[in-house]
Structure 1
């Protein structure tokens, strides 16, 4: 209804009141009715709705970076960097509290918050997730979207409240209503609101109410009161959408009746890439940034899985981007980054939000540093609650505070740095935080002797490196040189790389010890150093955080003489066969002073940290153990990288047959010779009155058309190229396509010309049988005389063909049957397609393809050749088996590179021999030879770059002893 209509309705209603209400009563109601009409008119004509939306959009324009230690001079706009974290249904007790917890794979899929809001049925949602998970940012973006997408939405009025700002008012006056709280945050806009504007919008269901931070209500009893207030608001205004956010611990203690619980999901790798590129585009608009700065950060994260694991958390990813841009390149500054993360999560964000706290930030750090150091000394990742409380109690007694250790543990758990991993067992959200805080404790307490005494202990390696990155590394490097062990020297090398200030004499001694050692010790230092950055799996395993590098693999090759990997050089090393992976592990374990290494198990690679490492290192698939077998790891839902499907194989076979076309055409030409002789005999006995002209020449015309197709159209008329002749020799066809065929080709060409002329006369003739009346006509007699003369010329050509020409039969069934089908094809132009179809059938090409095991190909060649030679001791079989071995074994054993011509020869020969094996020696031999053809296809595709080399080596060690 328009404004004018609304006015008319109001006036009519007022008039009706005058007619039916007594005068005395009307006098009392008049002022109320006028006031009500006035309020309604003001709401209708007011532009407050537009101004309110402008207030919301402008107030939420930028990313909230308050509390971060490193920020630039410009804050990116929210729309420039926003990535929807997405949501998944989850029961409250199943949502973990830590910074880096992933949503389990058995939950529902990823959903945008828009999938739940603005439906016909209003929603009440509780969005919960760990600290820094993007909950507040999600609400801010939702509020902006509601303002800007009015035309497509039911609920276009966003109400965003930070509950921490309204705790006192709600607790003091539980009956306070939602509009009152909203007006308290409008500032100068509050006076512009027409009376009852928010009440009317809420009553009519036009609002999406966004309530942030239930967990930030500090006291448990207050949090329950606030949750009760939220419940009453949803009941009072049921036509609106409500979204409440909280950390898991805060919501479990104060749930909201009727709310659907959704967990904030961690960033995927694609979302990490999208955020980083968006963030750098936003920064580049206001300041100069290095070209491809985003790509540089992504590459550095790929090479540092420990840092990459943090990027699943939006807040930590924002901090990483800031530190990378404003503090220098990662991961060299990762010690600074870890320190910032701990500060931000412990106290900086709380201070920025003006949340009350009983302890200052430095005291919180002191408590957690002491706990981390104690856990490092105990060599544990988990500690019982009683032990954690004991560590806190000892430190708290030294402080002038009345804080209870139980209360601080609960507070620390809410920060997300310390989590209850199992019932009563506490751990840091990531071992990196434990090691970083322990390094800070050592630095603050001057306990470097702990590190210098542990240079041979891998448990302390990462803590030592984090210490050296921010402190004087000289004592540690000196202790490493004094020890002289492989473990110590690899640690010294890493410390020297991290520290920008190392005594020159120490650096010289280090270069001397690592550069002049024997080859085995130098290799051992490299391997141990490579294994220094590890991922700890949930079951206590230790997996190297990076696949083996090309440099380390070259040390292995130099020492063992192992052939180079398949495919093109890459970093990390790829194209490593299963046998090579086993040999590498044996070599690494034989090096002096190296701990025991092994290939990881499939279960270990399913660990979230390991799986994330593998997905960030693009295109690699490590070898893993499955019982006694070694298999190539493939992510769930992904195709095996060494899979050749039937369609791909067929495409390569088409190329092979195209390469063989000249030879096949000449074989068909040779086969024409005896056929023409037979047909010529019929022509020689030609009787004019007994045979119909069209019928008698039908066969010779078909032969002529085939000859024209074979010899007259393109390169098929020419002699095969040298490489094609080589393929023909490899298939044992050189005797069939001997020099005699070159003498026949010109004759066949002339023959085709003469027959075409004869066929043309036949097509123009109108008679079928001899007719005396027709014969008496002079013109027809002349035509037939010309035809007879042409036939005589054909006879002379036939008689001139070499009498000793071979028959042209192929010695192998795989070739002879397709050639016969092509020869009998009613459409000569299609002979090549007919040959291909029949060859595919005879050779059972549909059964080719599958996952290739490159280690097995050489044995398949040997076993197949021996079996076929024994079963069919023919010269052809012996020759082709020898040729296959000569061509294939050097390639499969990596003594020579595969060429396209060699690939055709190997593939077609293997298929031909597979047919012989199917016929004469049933069993696995035929399938093994088809596997040779398939494996050749994989190698050829790698050679051309159409198939990547993915097989790599990731080292694992036996679980470290963590107990006392």
Structure 2
């Protein structure tokens, strides 16, 4: 009877897990809507590399490691013969997919599909716990065991009103039959609480040495209070080109199946594949997008945003705006991480705009904390009266939001120049400093910022400045402003086009050569964009 009762519990427990983790809600999602993924239809298993915790990057966008990578199954398959693999620390940057990897493992084991995913995968009972959500249970009773925590959480959260036995879980833990996944050590904001929870984790891993544990964290908070009993550290690698392509195909197939269930299956597949190919081409041919797409969170966001693939580039200002809101506000809020000094989203962005504009004016990408703090100090100290506040703010942006990243021992930068340019344009619009762009009309350093500005402003003055300079850079930029923007002087456009037509036949070889270069440049750009 006891065996029958336990078997029924396990069956019911797996049903609750399947219901809970069949779909994944992207934390923070977007003001444009909720982003949900069908895990067993869309998820791309990440590549992992073994790293020393001190060498793990905290950068949202990073380069692929040259060392060989493995999947999580390669490590789980060896837990019986390699005790080292029973204490896995999954340390990785924001948005790389730590949580969704644990959800995928939970769903796969609950469905009994682990051997379909990996032939030598061990049979384990999955348990996924959010450390942020269970921290109070631990802090209030440091003698509580992981078995007691598990049963308390299941009783509290199960829709089927399950009543698991502590003794049953203790027996499974002692015999190494469970996979315990503890997510988000970094999400315990209070340092004292994080230290206490870390000590408790070390004790539990010592109490049940046969059990396999996976603990996730971002690098910054973990290194302050590292665990003593984890024996291997894994870092999630950026998506490769093939991963991006496969994700887009699966993402749009599921999206089209949901939207157009009334259509015939093959037609839906054709439509989804066509959309995936178009989005993939835009992403791979526009360097900033190609880099961003290597991060699973940003790729998911871009795929969701690209309702009309042909307009992704033209609407990239809106895309950058939504990504900033996601990283600065929505995701920290969803994870229960309070804003530094209780700053509002508008205040945070206004401070970053000052930093971005000054860096652009200095023709700089990288800065030290001290340099960054000096740039933002006036606007920041008007809000928060604390001398150390500007530096703490920049560190918060690196460690919590990922919008700023450390590139060396002392140097920092925005995750990509595109975000520096977007924030610069936002500041120029807000403070009516269009003259900065006009003064730099022939400087390639400012070209992309000018294009971004053209997307939502009347650029007649900028195009006139480009016409007055009349060189290859400025004339190309004038065309870009026409294509990017919706407001410009039509008569000036005709005047420039007529001049270029006539210049092709000019007796002055320099003028004819200039006109030919501009025409060829526009033709090549058209071919790349639409071929």
Shift of the 296–399 alpha-carbon distance from structure 1 to 2, 3 Å rule, reads same
**Shift in Å, 1:81:** 0.8
Task: Identify if the C-alpha distance between structure 1 residues 257 and 248 changes in structure 2 by more than 3 Å, giving closer, same or farther.
Answer: same
1:329/1:89 CA distance change after superposition, 3 Å: same
Give the structure-2-normalised TM-score. 0.87
Q: Which one has more relative contact order, counting CA pairs under 8 Å at least 6 apart?
A: 2
Aligned match of 2:443 in 426, 435, 457?
A: 457
Structure-1 residue corresponding to 2:378: 394
Counterpart of 1:96?
Answer: 57
SS, match of residue 126 in structure 1: strand
1:45 positional shift: 4.7
Using the TM superposition, give the Cα deviation of residue 523 of structure 1 relative to its aligned residue in structure 2, in angstroms.
2.7
Q: In terms of Rg, which structure is larger?
A: 1
Q: Which residue of 2 aligns with 1:261?
A: 233
User: Following TM superposition, by how much is the alpha carbon of 1:46 offset from its aligned partner in structure 2, in angstroms?
Assistant: 5.4
The answer for the alignment partner of 1:144 in structure 2 is 107
SS at match of 2:318: helix
Deviations 1:33-79 (A, max 9, x none): xxxxxxxx378555111111111111011122231226567733111
Cα distance, 1:230 vs structure 2 = 1.8
Residues 66, 258 of structure 1: CA spacing in aligned structure 2 closer, same or farther, 3 A cutoff? closer
1:259-299: per-residue Cα shift (whole Å, max 9, x none)? Answer: 20111011010111100000011011111474611111112
**Counterpart among 392, 406, 410 of residue 395 in structure 2:** 410
2-structure distance, mates of 1:140, 1:230: 20
Confirm or deny: 8 A CA contact 2:456 2:486 kept in the other structure: no
Rounded Cα–Cα distance in structure 2 between residues aligned with 1:356 and 1:184:
27
Number of the residue aligned with 2:513: 520
Alignment deviations for residues 898-918 of structure 1 (CA, whole Å, 9 cap, x no partner): xxxxxxxxxxxxxxxxxxxxx
Q: Following superposition of structure 1 onto structure 2, how do residues 399-798 of structure 1 map, counting pairs within 5 Å?
A: 399=383, 404-414=389-399, 415-518=401-504, 519-526=512-519
CA contact (8 A) 1:147 1:156 kept: no
Instruction: State the 1:484 CA deviation.
Output: 2.6
Number of corresponding residues: 497
Offset, 1:238: 1.4
What is the aligned partner in structure 1 of residue 69 from structure 2? 110
Which secondary structure does the structure 1 equivalent of 2:143 belong to? coil
Report how far residue 482 of structure 1 moved: 3.1
Does 2:280 correspond to 1:298?
yes
**Counterpart in 1 of 2:207?**
236
Residues in 1 aligned to 2:278 and 2:7: alpha-carbon distance in whole angstroms: 52
Q: Contact between 1:70 and 1:326, CA under 8 Å: does it hold in 2?
A: no
Once residues 189 and 376 of structure 2 are traced to their aligned partners in structure 1, the CA distance between those partners, rounded to angstroms, is: 21
Contact 2:370/2:391 (<8 A) preserved: no
Equivalents in 2 of 1:159, 1:195: separation in Å?
14
Aligned-partner SS, 1:208: strand
Counterpart for residue 369 of structure 1: 353
Matched, 1:213 2:184: yes
Give the structure 1 partner of residue 264 of structure 2. none
**Is the partner of 1:110 in helix, strand or coil?**
coil
**1:326–1:48 Cα change, 3 Å:** farther
Which residue of the partner structure matches residue 925 of structure 1?
A: none
- Work out which of the residue numbers 158, 174, 181 in structure 2 matches 1:203: 174
Calculate the TM-score normalised by the size of structure 1.
0.49
Shift of residue 400, structure 1, vs aligned partner? 5.1
How big is the shift at 1:154? 4.2
Q: CA deviation at 1:506?
A: 3.2
Deviation for aligned residue 1:550:
5.4
Unaligned runs of 5+ in 2: 116-120, 261-267, 505-511
* Structure 2 counterpart SS, 1:116: helix
- Cα distance in 1 for residues equivalent to 2:524 and 2:441: 27
Report the 3-state secondary structure (helix = DSSP H, G, I; strand = E; otherwise coil) of the residue aligned with 1:422.
Answer: coil
Residue 258 (structure 2) aligns with: 286
Distance 2:126 2:455 in 1: 47
For 1:242, what is the secondary structure of its paired residue? strand
* Alpha-carbon spacing, 1:406–1:72, altered in 2? closer, same or farther (3 Å): closer
Tell me if the contact between 1:435 and 1:463 (Cα under 8 Å) persists in the aligned partners.
yes
Q: Distance in 1 between matches of 2:256 and 2:487?
A: 33
Q: 2:246 matched to which residue of 1?
A: 274
Corresponding residue SS for 2:406: strand
Deviation at 1:155, TM superposition (A): 4.3
Does 2:311 align with 1:329?
A: yes
Give distance in 2, aligned partners of 1:494 and 1:551.
Answer: 10
Distance apart, 1:199 and its partner CA: 2.4
User: Take 1:158 and 1:221, find their aligned partners in 2: how far apart are those partners?
Assistant: 29
Structure 1, residues 88-109: CA drift from partner, whole Å, max 9, x if none?
011122222111112431x3x1
Alignment counterpart, residue 56 of structure 1, candidates 17, 33, 48: 17
Q: Shift in Å at residue 197 of structure 1?
A: 3.0
C-alpha distance in 1 between matches for 2:518 and 2:128: 58
- Partners in 2 of 1:617 and 1:503 — Cα distance? 27
Tell me the residue number matched to 2:508: none
Q: Do structure 1's residue 342 and structure 2's residue 328 form an aligned pair? A: no
Contact 2:128–2:180 (CA<8 Å) still a contact in 1? yes
C-alpha deviations, 1:325-352, integer Å up to 9, x for none?
Answer: 2686322222211222222111111122
Q: Which residue pairs with 1:165 in the alignment?
A: 133
- Render the CA deviation track for 1:218-275: whole Å, top value 9, x for unaligned: 2333322222222122112211111111112222222222320111011010111100
Counterpart-to-counterpart distance in 2, 1:401 and 1:257:
39
Secondary structure of 1:160's counterpart equals strand
Q: Which residue of 1 aligns with 2:367?
A: 383
Give the deviation of 1:195 after TM superposition.
Answer: 4.9
What residue number does 2:118 align with?
none
Indicate the SS of the match to 1:196: helix
Work out whether residues 70 and 319 of structure 1, in 8 Å CA contact, stay in contact via their aligned partners in 2: no
Query: Does the residue aligned with 2:307 lie in a helix, a strand or coil?
Result: helix
Mapped partners of 1:309, 1:195: distance in 2: 47
CA RMSD of aligned residues (A): 2.7
Q: Deviations over 1:100-158 (max 9, x none)?
A: 112431x3x12110111153145111112111111111111011112222785544211
Which whole-Å CA distance do the structure 2 matches of 1:74 and 1:172 have between them?
A: 35
2:29 to 68, 80, 88: 68
Partner of 1:941: none
**Unaligned regions of 5+ residues in structure 1, if any?**
4-40, 531-548, 553-570, 573-615, 619-964
Give the distance between the partners of 1:470 and 1:221, measured in 2 at CA.
Answer: 47
Which string of whole-angstrom CA distances, capped at 9 and with x for unpartnered residues, describes residues 374-399 of structure 1? 11111111112211122232221122
CA distance in 1, matches of 2:348, 2:35: 30
Provide the secondary structure at the position in 1 that maps to 2:503. Answer: coil
